Structure 1
Amino acid sequence: MSTEPKFTPGPWRDNPDGKHHELVGDGMWFAKLRWTVTGPRNSADARLIAAAPDLYAALRNIYEGNLGDEPWQANYDKIRAVARAALSKATAVGHSNLQGAA
Protein backbone atom coordinates (compact mmCIF):
# COMPACT_ATOMS: atom_id res chain seq x y z
CA MET A 1 0.00 0.00 0.00
CA SER A 2 1.54 3.23 -1.05
CA THR A 3 -0.48 5.89 0.75
CA GLU A 4 -1.11 6.58 4.40
CA PRO A 5 -4.70 6.32 5.60
CA LYS A 6 -6.69 9.54 5.80
CA PHE A 7 -8.63 8.66 8.95
CA THR A 8 -7.91 10.01 12.44
CA PRO A 9 -4.74 8.32 13.70
CA GLY A 10 -5.13 5.67 16.37
CA PRO A 11 -5.23 4.48 18.94
CA TRP A 12 -8.87 5.34 19.43
CA ARG A 13 -10.72 4.80 22.68
CA ASP A 14 -14.35 4.73 23.67
CA ASN A 15 -15.28 7.27 26.34
CA PRO A 16 -18.87 6.46 27.43
CA ASP A 17 -20.66 9.20 29.38
CA GLY A 18 -23.90 7.37 30.19
CA LYS A 19 -26.00 8.48 27.20
CA HIS A 20 -23.38 8.70 24.48
CA HIS A 21 -20.10 7.14 23.47
CA GLU A 22 -17.40 9.62 22.51
CA LEU A 23 -14.63 8.33 20.28
CA VAL A 24 -11.30 9.87 21.20
CA GLY A 25 -8.24 9.78 18.98
CA ASP A 26 -5.25 11.96 18.22
CA GLY A 27 -5.75 13.81 21.52
CA MET A 28 -9.36 14.90 20.97
CA TRP A 29 -12.83 13.47 20.58
CA PHE A 30 -13.85 13.27 16.96
CA ALA A 31 -17.19 11.50 17.08
CA LYS A 32 -20.09 11.16 19.48
CA LEU A 33 -22.28 8.10 19.06
CA ARG A 34 -25.86 8.48 20.17
CA TRP A 35 -27.92 5.34 19.94
CA THR A 36 -31.49 5.47 18.67
CA VAL A 37 -32.17 2.32 20.67
CA THR A 38 -30.29 1.54 23.85
CA GLY A 39 -29.23 -1.97 24.65
CA PRO A 40 -26.39 -4.32 25.48
CA ARG A 41 -24.89 -4.08 21.98
CA ASN A 42 -24.14 -0.35 22.25
CA SER A 43 -20.89 -0.77 24.18
CA ALA A 44 -19.82 -3.68 21.98
CA ASP A 45 -20.49 -1.60 18.85
CA ALA A 46 -18.51 1.32 20.28
CA ARG A 47 -15.58 -0.99 21.12
CA LEU A 48 -15.58 -2.37 17.58
CA ILE A 49 -15.55 1.13 16.10
CA ALA A 50 -12.80 2.23 18.50
CA ALA A 51 -10.69 -0.80 17.49
CA ALA A 52 -10.81 0.13 13.78
CA PRO A 53 -7.26 1.58 13.62
CA ASP A 54 -5.83 -1.51 15.35
CA LEU A 55 -7.73 -3.84 13.03
CA TYR A 56 -6.55 -1.81 10.04
CA ALA A 57 -2.92 -1.89 11.22
CA ALA A 58 -3.02 -5.64 11.86
CA LEU A 59 -4.42 -6.37 8.40
CA ARG A 60 -1.99 -3.97 6.76
CA ASN A 61 0.99 -5.60 8.49
CA ILE A 62 -0.20 -9.04 7.48
CA TYR A 63 -0.85 -7.93 3.89
CA GLU A 64 2.53 -6.20 3.56
CA GLY A 65 4.39 -9.02 5.29
CA ASN A 66 5.70 -6.71 8.02
CA LEU A 67 6.05 -9.58 10.46
CA GLY A 68 9.65 -10.61 9.93
CA ASP A 69 12.05 -11.71 7.20
CA GLU A 70 11.01 -15.35 7.05
CA PRO A 71 8.19 -16.78 4.89
CA TRP A 72 4.71 -16.39 6.36
CA GLN A 73 4.61 -20.03 7.44
CA ALA A 74 7.55 -19.40 9.77
CA ASN A 75 5.71 -16.35 11.19
CA TYR A 76 2.35 -18.04 11.65
CA ASP A 77 2.43 -17.61 15.44
CA LYS A 78 3.31 -13.92 15.04
CA ILE A 79 0.50 -13.46 12.49
CA ARG A 80 -1.95 -15.07 14.93
CA ALA A 81 -0.68 -12.86 17.76
CA VAL A 82 -1.20 -9.67 15.73
CA ALA A 83 -4.70 -10.75 14.72
CA ARG A 84 -5.55 -11.92 18.26
CA ALA A 85 -4.50 -8.60 19.80
CA ALA A 86 -6.65 -6.62 17.36
CA LEU A 87 -9.64 -8.93 17.84
CA SER A 88 -9.23 -8.76 21.61
CA LYS A 89 -9.45 -4.98 21.56
CA ALA A 90 -12.48 -5.07 19.27
CA THR A 91 -14.39 -7.57 21.39
CA ALA A 92 -13.13 -6.85 24.93
CA VAL A 93 -12.35 -10.57 25.23
CA GLY A 94 -8.98 -11.50 26.66
CA HIS A 95 -6.45 -12.99 24.25
CA SER A 96 -6.63 -16.44 25.83
CA ASN A 97 -10.45 -16.45 25.69
CA LEU A 98 -10.72 -16.00 21.93
CA GLN A 99 -11.98 -19.09 20.13
CA GLY A 100 -9.04 -20.95 18.63
CA ALA A 101 -6.47 -18.98 20.63
CA ALA A 102 -3.18 -20.79 21.07
Structure 2
Amino acid sequence: MGETQFTPGPWRVRFGNIGHVTAENGALVAKCQRLTSLCNLQANARLIAAAPDLYEALERVIKIIDDSSWCLKLTEERAALAKARGETP
Protein backbone atom coordinates (compact mmCIF):
# COMPACT_ATOMS: atom_id res chain seq x y z
CA MET A 1 0.00 0.00 0.00
CA GLY A 2 1.12 3.53 -0.70
CA GLU A 3 1.99 6.10 1.90
CA THR A 4 -0.68 8.52 3.04
CA GLN A 5 0.05 12.24 2.99
CA PHE A 6 -3.15 13.59 4.47
CA THR A 7 -3.45 15.06 7.95
CA PRO A 8 -3.59 12.11 10.34
CA GLY A 9 -6.83 11.43 12.19
CA PRO A 10 -8.82 11.43 14.23
CA TRP A 11 -10.75 14.33 12.74
CA ARG A 12 -13.60 15.95 14.64
CA VAL A 13 -16.55 18.14 13.77
CA ARG A 14 -16.56 21.38 15.72
CA PHE A 15 -20.10 22.48 16.39
CA GLY A 16 -18.92 25.79 17.84
CA ASN A 17 -17.96 26.58 14.25
CA ILE A 18 -20.66 24.57 12.52
CA GLY A 19 -19.24 22.57 9.68
CA HIS A 20 -15.59 22.90 10.64
CA VAL A 21 -13.63 19.66 10.67
CA THR A 22 -10.39 19.76 12.64
CA ALA A 23 -7.50 17.39 13.22
CA GLU A 24 -6.51 16.30 16.70
CA ASN A 25 -3.79 18.98 16.73
CA GLY A 26 -6.44 21.66 16.05
CA ALA A 27 -5.59 22.18 12.37
CA LEU A 28 -8.59 23.03 10.18
CA VAL A 29 -9.07 20.14 7.72
CA ALA A 30 -12.31 21.24 6.06
CA LYS A 31 -14.91 23.97 6.26
CA CYS A 32 -18.29 22.87 4.97
CA GLN A 33 -20.54 25.57 3.65
CA ARG A 34 -24.26 25.65 4.05
CA LEU A 35 -25.50 24.70 0.59
CA THR A 36 -29.04 23.51 1.25
CA SER A 37 -29.70 23.12 4.94
CA LEU A 38 -28.06 22.93 8.32
CA CYS A 39 -28.70 19.16 8.37
CA ASN A 40 -26.79 18.70 5.10
CA LEU A 41 -23.91 20.79 6.37
CA GLN A 42 -23.62 18.76 9.57
CA ALA A 43 -23.94 15.45 7.69
CA ASN A 44 -21.22 16.49 5.23
CA ALA A 45 -18.94 17.56 8.07
CA ARG A 46 -19.46 14.23 9.87
CA LEU A 47 -18.68 12.29 6.67
CA ILE A 48 -15.49 14.27 6.11
CA ALA A 49 -14.48 13.80 9.76
CA ALA A 50 -14.89 10.02 9.32
CA ALA A 51 -12.56 9.93 6.28
CA PRO A 52 -9.38 8.82 8.13
CA ASP A 53 -11.31 6.06 9.94
CA LEU A 54 -12.94 4.89 6.69
CA TYR A 55 -9.55 4.91 4.96
CA GLU A 56 -7.95 2.80 7.71
CA ALA A 57 -10.89 0.37 7.76
CA LEU A 58 -10.69 -0.17 4.01
CA GLU A 59 -6.93 -0.66 4.25
CA ARG A 60 -7.44 -3.35 6.92
CA VAL A 61 -10.09 -5.16 4.86
CA ILE A 62 -7.81 -5.23 1.81
CA LYS A 63 -4.91 -6.52 3.92
CA ILE A 64 -7.06 -9.29 5.41
CA ILE A 65 -8.20 -10.36 1.96
CA ASP A 66 -4.66 -10.13 0.54
CA ASP A 67 -3.42 -12.34 3.38
CA SER A 68 -6.15 -14.93 2.78
CA SER A 69 -6.80 -17.36 -0.02
CA TRP A 70 -9.80 -15.39 -1.32
CA CYS A 71 -9.72 -14.65 -5.02
CA LEU A 72 -10.96 -11.08 -5.00
CA LYS A 73 -9.37 -8.25 -6.92
CA LEU A 74 -10.98 -5.37 -5.01
CA THR A 75 -10.24 -3.10 -7.97
CA GLU A 76 -12.64 -0.33 -6.94
CA GLU A 77 -11.48 -0.44 -3.33
CA ARG A 78 -7.81 -0.18 -4.32
CA ALA A 79 -8.66 2.67 -6.70
CA ALA A 80 -10.42 4.54 -3.88
CA LEU A 81 -7.35 4.29 -1.65
CA ALA A 82 -5.05 5.33 -4.52
CA LYS A 83 -7.29 8.35 -5.17
CA ALA A 84 -7.12 9.32 -1.48
CA ARG A 85 -3.32 9.13 -1.66
CA GLY A 86 -3.25 11.34 -4.78
CA GLU A 87 -1.92 8.57 -7.02
CA THR A 88 -4.75 8.95 -9.57
CA PRO A 89 -6.54 11.99 -10.98
**Shorter-chain TM-score category?**
0.5 to 0.7
Partner of 1:33: 32
Percent of counterpart pairs with the same letter?
38
Following superposition, the deviation at residue 9 of structure 1 comes to: 0.4
Question: Relative contact order: is structure 1 or structure 2 higher (C-alpha 8 Å, sep ≥ 6)?
Answer: 2
Matched, 1:54 2:53: yes
Following superposition, the deviation at residue 63 of structure 1 comes to: 0.3
The alignment partner of 1:7 has SS state of coil
Partner of 1:84: none
Following superposition, the deviation at residue 64 of structure 1 comes to: 1.1
Q: Which runs of 4+ in 1 moved over 6 A?
A: none
Partner of 1:43: 42
Partner of 1:4: 3
TM-score, structure 1 as length reference: 0.55
TM-score, structure 2 as length reference: 0.61
Pairwise CA RMSD = 2.4
